[in-house]
Structure 1
Amino acid sequence: MNEKAMRKSRWITTVFLIIIIGITYLSAMITKFNFIDGIATLPKALSWIFANLWITQETWERLPAILGKLNETIFMSIAATTLAAIISLFLGLMGSKTTKVNNVFSMLARLIASFSRNIPVVAWSLILLISFGQNSLTGFLALFVGTLGFLTRAFIESIDEASQSAVEALQATGATYAQIVNKAVIPQSLPQMLSWILFMIETNIRSATLVGILTGTGIGYTFDLYYKSLNYNAVALVTFTIVIAVIIIELISNRIRKVIL
């Protein structure tokens, strides 16, 4: 029986790999992508990078201005994530099977999560750009809407995974809805929720760079400005500061996760 199951597993894996290879080949044919030509251009691309993306002494003088824009991007990402987390908590409670008030609110919460989550942040930026123009509000709203959908979905799953025994015990004692949420649901779900919030802060800082290019704000706008003016030394410094900032924030997030989980 075990040998038969192993043969079946190998057969399924083989078929799956063949399908993946076929889809990859078909995609390359449709897009006219040549893997060999792509590999051949790598030396030239790397040569250009090493020749142009150098941080010079003159470029370092721009660091204070760049750090100012980077701080703007970081704080905007944190603010958008925080506000989205607060609203997502209520939507998560409404959408979860454990804490839902009724099916209508549950379906509405899940619909909001699905709608905002399945549209990329870049698409939200372009949509909101038409209405609000190029400003910080547009970037903030784009990050907020995308985060709202993701966190609502994550919070719903976190609440659904909470132990039902504590909820049922409180219900048996006649506890109110608020007491059940505060005493049984939130304490169990909070560590996982905080982990998701930290993850979204990291993600939004990365996304905010691209959003800034579209909305004319933050470090993304600075990157775009230097790139269009062909100031590649400044582009290298902007890229360096973004990478360092993301690494530092990721290290801090990982440390916090180890404490709360």
Structure 2
Amino acid sequence: MQADYFAKKRRQSYIYSGLLLLLTLAAMVVTEYDAVKGLTSIPKAADWALSNFYPNEKAMTKLPDIMDQLIETVLVSIAATTVAGVLALLFALLGSQTTGVNSIIGSISRAIATLFRNIDVAAWSMILLFSFGQSVLTGYFALFFGSFGFLTRAFMESIDEIGNSSVEALRATGAGYFSIIFQSVIPSSIPQLLSWILFMVETNIRQATLIGILTGTGIGFLFSLYYKSLNYSAASLVVIVIVCAILAIEYISNYVRRVIL
């Protein structure tokens, strides 16, 4: 019986692997992608990057402007995430199986969260460009909407994981809805909620760089400007600054997670 089960799983694995291989080959034929040419071009690309894509003395004069745009990008990302986190907590409380008011409101909250979560931040940027044009507000609201959908879903799961035991105990003592929320649910789940917010801040700082290219703001716009003007030295400096900022923020975020969890 067990041997038949494992034999069936192996057959399924072979079938799926074969389908994946066929799909890959079909995609290469349709797109006319030359795998051999792609692999052999890697050394040439690396040689060009080492020869051109590095900061020089002239590029270092642009460091103050790059830092100003980096600070703006980081602050916009943090602001969008924290405000979205507050609103997401409200919708998560309404949509959670543990704290939901009723099934209709819960279903509406979950549907809204699913809608916002499944629209990519880049798509939000393009949609919002029609309303706000190329401005900081476009990037802010794109990050806000994307963060809201993700955090609402994550907060719902965190709240549901705390279990119903403490909630039921408070209800048995006659505690009201808001007493249960502020005395049991939020204190029990706040480490996980803060962890999700920190994760979203990291993600938004990465995404804000790409969004800046679309919205014409922030450090992403500077990279696009330098690269299109063939100022590869300044563009490489932007990349280095972004990488250092992301590593620093990730280190701080991991440290805070270790403290609160």
Q: Is the CA contact 2:116–2:148 (under 8 Å) kept in the aligned structure 1?
A: yes
Secondary structure of the structure 1 residue equivalent to 2:101: coil
Name the CA distance, whole Å, in 2 between partners of 1:189 and 1:13. 39
Contact 2:93 2:100 in 1 (8 A): yes
Name the CA distance, whole Å, in 1 between partners of 2:161 and 2:222: 43
> 1:47 maps to which residue?
47
Give how far 1:118 is off.
0.9
**Structure 2: any 5+ residue segments left out of the alignment?**
none
Q: Deviations over 1:72-110 (max 9, x none)?
A: 000000000000000000000011111111122112211
Match of 2:250 in 1: 250
- The corresponding residue for 1:170 is 170
1:223 equivalent to 2:209? Answer no
1:59 partner letter:
A
The match for 1:13 is: 13
Query: Counterpart of 2:149 in structure 1: which amino acid?
Result: G
Amino acid of the structure 1 residue aligned with 2:58: E
1:58, 1:226 → 2: CA distance?
13
CA distance in 1, matches of 2:251, 2:132: 35
How many residue pairs get aligned? The number is 261
1:117-156 alignment, distance < 5 Å: 117-156=117-156
**Counterpart AA for 2:215:** T
User: Which sits farther off after the overlay, 91-100 or 156-165?
Assistant: 156-165
Note if contact 2:205-2:246 (Cα within 8 Å) is conserved in structure 1.
yes
Q: What CA distance in whole angstroms lies between the structure 2 residues aligned with 1:173 and 1:19?
A: 58
Given that residues 70 and 242 in structure 2 are in contact (C-alpha distance below 8 angstroms), is that contact kept between their aligned partners in structure 1? yes
Q: What is the identity, as a one-letter code, of the residue corresponding to 2:19?
A: I
TM-score between the two structures when normalised by the length of structure 1: 0.96
Residue 9 of structure 1: CA displacement? 2.7
1:154: how far off? 0.7
Question: Quick one: distance in 1 between partners of 2:32 and 2:95?
Answer: 44
Matched, 1:102 2:102: yes
AA of the residue aligned to 1:81: T
Q: Secondary structure at the match of 1:41?
A: helix
Equivalent runs, 1:235-246 vs 2, <5 Å: 235-246=235-246
Structure 1, unmatched stretches of 5+, are none
Please name the residue that 2:64 is paired with: 64
Q: Secondary structure at the match of 2:255?
A: helix
Counterpart of 1:74?
Answer: 74
Q: CA deviation at 1:10?
A: 2.3
Following TM superposition, by how much is the alpha carbon of 1:20 offset from its aligned partner in structure 2, in angstroms?
2.1
1:191 corresponding residue in structure 2:
191
Secondary structure of the equivalent of 1:79? helix
Cα deviation code 1:189-216 (max 9, x no counterpart): 2111111111110110010011111111
CA distance in 1, matches of 2:21, 2:158: 36
Measured after TM superposition, the shift of residue 6 of structure 1 is 2.6
The 1:12/1:183 distance shift into structure 2, 3 A limit, reads: farther
Matched, 1:159 2:159: yes
CA contact (8 A) 2:115 2:149 kept: yes
**Is residue 98–residue 163 contact of structure 2 (8 Å, CA) maintained in 1?**
no
Q: Distance in 2 between matches of 1:138 and 1:13?
A: 45
> What CA deviation, in whole Å up to 9, does each residue of 1:94-132 have, x standing for no partner?
111111111221122112111111111111101101111
CA separation in 1, counterparts of 2:177 and 2:34? 60
Which letter maps to 2:112? I
Q: Bigger CA drift: 203-212 or 188-197?
A: 188-197
Dislocated runs of 4+, deviation >4 Å: none
The normalised TM-score by structure 2 is 0.96
Matches of 1:19 and 1:259, distance apart in 2 = 46
Amino acid in the other structure paired with 1:152? T
Cα distance in structure 2, aligned partners of 1:14 and 1:226 = 48
